[in-house]
Amino acid sequence: MDSEATGLPADREQPPRGWKAIFATIWTGQAFSLMGSQVAQFALVWWLTRTTGSATVLATATLVALVPGIVLGPLSGALVDRWNRRLIMMCADSCAALVAAWLAYLFWSGSLQVWHVYIVMFVRSIAGGFHWPAMQASTSLLVPKEQLSRVAGLNQTLFGAMSIAAPPLGALLLELLPLHGMMAIDVVTATIAVSTMAAVHIPQPRRAEPASASPSSVWQDLHEGLRYVRGWPGMMALMVLAALISFLIVPAFSLVPVLVTRHYGGQALELGWINSAWGIGSLLGGLALSAWGGFRRRIVTSLVGLMGIGAGMLVVGFSPAPGLWLGLSGMFVAGFMMPIANGPFMAAIQTVVAPGMQGRVFTLLGSASSLMAPLSLAIAGPVADAFGVQVWYIVGGVASLVIGAGSFMVRPLMGIEDGARGSTPVSAAQPGEAVPAATPGSRAQPSAPWPV
């Protein structure tokens, strides 16, 4: 069938028959793996906290986990577009299982040190840097384009459910199991993910033959991806937007424990309520998106979601010290709107970006977003100490409302989905073909553009 008639990019084929069963198999395995990873992460953070009691150690662990995505992101995207994506995901899950098994042995033998945990977090971050874009890029070849928003909502629902279930489950298991037992759970769940992935077939995008006789190198592919994005004003606008939102929003949600203790005068119970309010909102928002699917133009749905996040943050920022219930309400609203903002953007990119280019596009967007996080986190502490922690919620909330509303007037951003109908010349480029650097056009972590 002609790609122009279907409205799909030229190297996108129709999803395989029985795609629901294939996707459900993969999704189930990944759900087990995500739960195991979340529980293991909870156990590692708690071990670092209990062993060292150092905020510097925890901040260092966060930076260690961020660095691979920032530095290796664009390169991993180029490799994802070259290699077999199914094998990439299987290797990433296997790698995570191996380092978890190594950490379990170190704890069991009594030789575990803090720097061992840093190594494990670093390796797991590298594995995730390959797994996430491979999974996102594979989804666009497995799922019909009209169902991508609902699938994104389903994924957001899963993340919301994990944010609710993983902390209390991790705390319960820590009472019953030693750390090496927690790591063993991660090994088992990763093995389940690898087994389910091995049982299915995932389509690969077609790679056009290069114009020259010699095959293109990884660096040429990376450069091609950069030109692909640079030649698409809508995608460049989205990357700038994601970087701004990352700078403004990430500190607010990183400072939730400080907000609870300093502003509301709460303890661990109140922190649990705040986290649960966010998680329940995210779960319900994902379910709503999965059932509804969003507006016809996905960009409209995402911008409405971004403004909703801003409204929720403002409620938190302006809530008085005795008004914990207002803070809970604001967190619930922000959590509910997060899937509404994230899911449609992911679906839009999966629809309009050529499958052979998606790995590079997803990782470039993720790098643009993640690059701002260390800078904003470095500023967050001193600003919160000087002006109060609520300032980040107020500034982030106002910025989300202003940027979300103002984006409706940015024509390249609003027209980003027009590439699916062939109106954007750069979107028709095939993998392996040159993309003119100056070609005008109209084309995103963690998951997602809004990095919370």
Task: Specify whether the CB–CB gap between 128 and 92 falls below 8 A.
Answer: yes
pLDDT tens-digit series, residues 90-132: 888 898 889 889 988 988 888 888 888 888 888 888 888 788 7
Instruction: Quote the CA–CA distance of 16 and 205 in Å, as a whole number.
Output: 13
Q: What is the pLDDT of residue 339?
A: 84
Q: Indicate whether 437 pLDDT > 50.
A: no
Instruction: Quote the CA–CA distance of 126 and 132 in Å, as a whole number.
Output: 10
In a domain, 295, yes or no: yes
Q: What is the pLDDT of residue 344?
A: 81
**Dihedral sign, CA of 377, 381, 386, 390?**
positive
DSSP string covering 173-233, please? Answer: HHHHS-HHHHHHHHHHHHHHHHHHHHTS-------PPPSSSSPPPHHHHHHHHHHHHHT-H
Q: Indicate whether 449 pLDDT > 60.
A: no
Rounded mean pLDDT of 343-349?
A: 77
The band of 330, judged by pLDDT with boundaries at 50, 70 and 90, is very high
Range of the domain at 67: 3-203+215-428
Q: What is the pLDDT of residue 329?
A: 94
Task: Specify whether the CB–CB gap between 93 and 190 falls below 8 A.
Answer: yes
pLDDT tens-digit series, residues 216-263: 566 777 777 778 777 788 888 888 887 888 787 777 777 777 788 778
Tally the domains of the chain. Answer: 1
Instruction: Quote the CA–CA distance of 57 and 47 in Å, as a whole number.
Output: 11
> In degrees, to the nearest 5, what angle opens at C-alpha 42 toward C-alphas 392 and 94?
115
Instruction: Quote the CA–CA distance of 263 and 169 in Å, as a whole number.
Output: 28
In a domain, 103, yes or no: yes
Pick from 94, 129, 119: which is nearest to 44 by CA?
119
Range among 6-10, 239-243, 327-331, 442-446 rated most confident: 327-331
Q: What is the pLDDT of residue 167?
A: 67
In a domain, 448, yes or no: no
Q: What is the pLDDT of residue 337?
A: 92
Kindly list the distances between the CA atom of residue 307 and the CA atoms of 106, 279, 302, 343, 351, in Å, as whole numbers in the listed order.
Answer: 47, 19, 9, 15, 24
Q: Please, which residues have CB within 8 angstroms of residue 296's CB and are 6 or more apart in sequence? A: none
Q: Indicate whether 65 pLDDT > 60.
A: yes
In a domain, 102, yes or no: yes
Instruction: Quote the CA–CA distance of 99 and 443 in Å, as a whole number.
Output: 38
In a domain, 433, yes or no: no
What DSSP character marks residue 263? I
403 or 83, higher pLDDT:
403
CATH number of the domain at 367, please. Answer: 1.20.1250.20
The band of 206, judged by pLDDT with boundaries at 50, 70 and 90, is low
What DSSP character marks residue 172? H
417 or 167, higher pLDDT:
417
Q: Indicate whether 424 pLDDT > 60.
A: no
Rounded mean pLDDT of 54-80?
A: 71
What DSSP character marks residue 146? G
In a domain, 243, yes or no: yes
Rounded mean pLDDT of 52-81?
A: 71
Q: Which of 20-24, 107-111, 173-177, 183-187 has the lowest mean pLDDT?
A: 173-177
219 or 12, higher pLDDT:
219
Q: What is the pLDDT of residue 305?
A: 92
Q: Indicate whether 447 pLDDT > 50.
A: no
Pick from 253, 243, 269: which is nearest to 313 by CA?
253
Task: Specify whether the CB–CB gap between 162 and 276 falls below 8 A.
Answer: no
369 or 435, higher pLDDT:
369
236 or 369, higher pLDDT:
236
- Tokens (6 digits) for 64: 């260690």
Cα distance between the two ends of the chain:
40
pLDDT tens-digit series, residues 395-418: 889 989 999 999 898 888 888 777
443 or 26, higher pLDDT:
26
Instruction: Quote the CA–CA distance of 434 and 156 in Å, as a whole number.
Output: 35
Instruction: Find how far residue 116's CA is from the centre of its chain.
Output: 25
Maximum distance among all Cα pairs of the chain, rounded to whole angstroms: 71
The band of 316, judged by pLDDT with boundaries at 50, 70 and 90, is very high
Instruction: Quote the CA–CA distance of 6 and 88 in Å, as a whole number.
Output: 29
In a domain, 39, yes or no: yes
Instruction: Quote the CA–CA distance of 107 and 114 in Å, as a whole number.
Output: 11
Q: Please, which residues have CB within 8 angstroms of residue 255's CB and are 6 or more apart in sequence? A: 380, 384, 389, 392
In a domain, 447, yes or no: no
Q: Indicate whether 318 pLDDT > 90.
A: yes
Q: What is the pLDDT of residue 53?
A: 59
Give me the chain's average pLDDT, please.
75
CB atoms within 10 A of CB 414: 18
Task: Specify whether the CB–CB gap between 243 and 374 falls below 8 A.
Answer: no
Q: Which of 6-20, 279-293, 311-325, 336-350 has the lowest mean pLDDT?
A: 6-20
Report the predicted TM-score, pTM, of the whole model to 2 decimal places.
Answer: 0.62
Q: What is the pLDDT of residue 49?
A: 67
Task: Specify whether the CB–CB gap between 206 and 12 falls below 8 A.
Answer: no
433 or 171, higher pLDDT:
171
Task: Tell me what percent of the residues of the chain surpass a pLDDT of 70.
Answer: 80
